[in-house]
Structure 1
Amino acid sequence: MDALVSTDWLAEELGANDLRIVDATYFATDPTRDPAAEYEAGHIPGAVFMDLADLVDTATDLPGMLPPAEKFASRMQALGLGDGSRIVIYDNSPHHTAARAWWMLKTHGAHDVAILDGGLAKWKAEGRVLKKGKETLRHRHFTVWKDEKAVRDLAQMKANQASGAEQVVDARSAARFSGAEADPRPGVAPGHIPGSVNIPQDSLFEADGTWKRGDTLKSVFDAAGVDLAKPIVTTCGSGVTAAVVLFGAHLLGASQVALYDGSWSEWGADAATEKAVA
């Protein structure tokens, strides 16, 4: 299974014994929308709802941090996602949150994971069938595992400031990156990590909401001066859209890509870190 699958492909695969579909819609900055309620109002048949707002590390005050491996595995088992499953993830969020779910699953050892190109919006636009309510879930075994190589913490990011070993790519909007727009979180400074470059996550998509591909996608990275053959760390506000840029690099064959989970929520709130503006 490719990392990115089409709605046609998914429609043909519906009902396959090893296929699991996941709705990973999440609205980090819009409290007026309830992703669980929207899921129950209409989802792709067979899809389960992955609550990204709840799938976090509760031992930290930082927003949306990766949960412990045991907690993640337990939640996946409860959703019926297990070893040997082919997992297809979609969302209906402007933040393209399926990428965060994809990264979390890959980080925790899932092998066959894909994102639905165009998400729920494309599925609905094509007039395909939707189902209401919740799905009946059957527990499956999900091996406890976590690949620390895919994650960066504050100490590693500070060390990278000195070494410059990894390119840092920020997925926030240009206004947030430059500091022209204030951070929405109290106590978090404006600006960006010195030396980082900006690839706003929405620049990786076509007008119809599908992913850019091939040279068109690569041109976005080229314009930002990112060398896909060299190590990359992605960051954003809270680690969600950073996964979008990470997935885009993955589509282009980049093999040394990690994500700074604390992102600007951590760096921008730390009085000891350097900040750059403009």
Structure 2
Amino acid sequence: MLPLLLEPADLAKHLGDDKLLIIDLSKPTIYVQAHVPGAIHLDFRRLQTGAQPAPGMLPDDDTLGDLFSGLGLTPDTHVIAYDDEGGGWAGRLLWTLDAIGHKHYSYLNGGIHAWLAEGHPTSSESTEPTPSDYEVGEHDPLTEVNLDYLLAHYQDPGVAIWDSRSEEEYSGVRAFAQKPGHIPGAVHYEWTDPMDKQNNLRLRPLDDIRAELEARGITPDKEVICHCQTHHRSSFSWLVGKILGYPMLRGYAGSWAEWGNHPDTPAEKSE
């Protein structure tokens, strides 16, 4: 069993293993230059509906079934995801898999940057998947939340809303929706804060990240709900929480695109 947070050196020992599906969510220009040998490229746009006003919504089960069949996913496949941006799109893929009940997955720590920095082998040849017939099972109700749930529970003392957007978006200085600001009571911890810019975008020491989250009130005893604008950046936040062992962790796919454009939602600005 491979760990959730997988180091490049450990993946290098398992290249070519059966039952391993390595998925690269980097920009196409990066993938064609260099990728992990055997990695299949996935256009990250296929992980969201793209439909306004909340483009980050999960595609329907038929669409996801077609997507994962095309990638060759089977129920006993272990997926390893990485990208070129420190984990946002890789996180979105893993959150999607978790939401549809596929629980065998790992994140390549640091993605392609860490892989290249350690001098592991790369390929520039496209890998063509062997298609499967993947059927999306029952969704895990503990992985995602919708607008109605969040409206009913955002003020609960046992709920922590983790806002992964930029400080400017959180405070209301910049807005990508009709309303500026944030969900009342939401806590800001930007999605890139856990990344070590000096260490090829690997995660910073986990104890440091844990301490920063807990200092903000994002504690493991709470139900933690992650969001950003479209649940791309916050999928990485969700993944970080998973790696830290947070037991009640969910993602809000509608995110600020839905909340900030809805007539009946409250919004708060920072002073």
Percentage of identical aligned residues? 26
Look up the match of 1:170: 163
> Does the aligned pair in 2 maintain the 1:6–1:116 contact within 8 Å?
yes
**How far off its partner does 1:165 sit?**
4.3
Taking structure 1 as reference, are residues 60 and 96 closer, same or farther at Cα in structure 2, changes over 3 Å only?
A: closer
After TM superposition, the score normalised by the length of structure 2 is 0.92
Look up the match of 1:7: 8
> Does the aligned pair in 2 maintain the 1:90–1:98 contact within 8 Å?
yes
How far, CA to CA, are the matches of 2:67 and 2:8 in structure 1? Answer: 26
What are the equivalent positions in structure 2 for 1:241-252 lying under 5 Å apart?
Answer: 241-252=233-244
One-letter code of the match for 1:5? L
One-letter code of the match for 1:188? Q
Q: CA RMSD in A?
A: 1.8
SS of the residue 2:31 aligns to: helix
Look up the match of 2:70: 78
**How far off its partner does 1:95 sit?**
6.1
SS of the residue 1:147 aligns to: coil
SS of the residue 1:54 aligns to: helix
How far, CA to CA, are the matches of 1:61 and 1:10 in structure 2? Answer: 39
State yes or no: 1:200 paired with 2:190: yes
One-letter code of the match for 2:203? W
Give the paired residue count: 266
Look up the match of 2:232: 240
How far, CA to CA, are the matches of 2:33 and 2:181 in structure 1? Answer: 39
After TM superposition, the score normalised by the length of structure 1 is 0.89
How far, CA to CA, are the matches of 2:22 and 2:178 in structure 1? Answer: 36
**How far off its partner does 1:170 sit?**
0.4
Look up the match of 1:188: 178
How far, CA to CA, are the matches of 1:7 and 1:59 in structure 2? Answer: 36
Taking structure 1 as reference, are residues 59 and 131 closer, same or farther at Cα in structure 2, changes over 3 Å only?
A: same
The one of 210, 230, 233 aligned to 2:222: 230
Q: Relative to structure 2, which stretch is displaced further, 96-105 or 157-166? A: 157-166
SS of the residue 1:72 aligns to: helix
Look up the match of 1:31: none
**How far off its partner does 1:226 sit?**
1.4
> Does the aligned pair in 1 maintain the 2:53–2:258 contact within 8 Å?
no
What are the equivalent positions in structure 2 for 1:33-48 lying under 5 Å apart?
Answer: 35-48=27-40
One-letter code of the match for 2:220? L
**How far off its partner does 1:41 sit?**
2.6
How far, CA to CA, are the matches of 2:47 and 2:246 in structure 1? Answer: 27
Structure 1 gaps of 5+ residues are 26-34
SS of the residue 2:202 aligns to: coil
Look up the match of 1:32: none
Look up the match of 1:131: 123
Look up the match of 1:28: none
> Does the aligned pair in 2 maintain the 1:246–1:258 contact within 8 Å?
yes
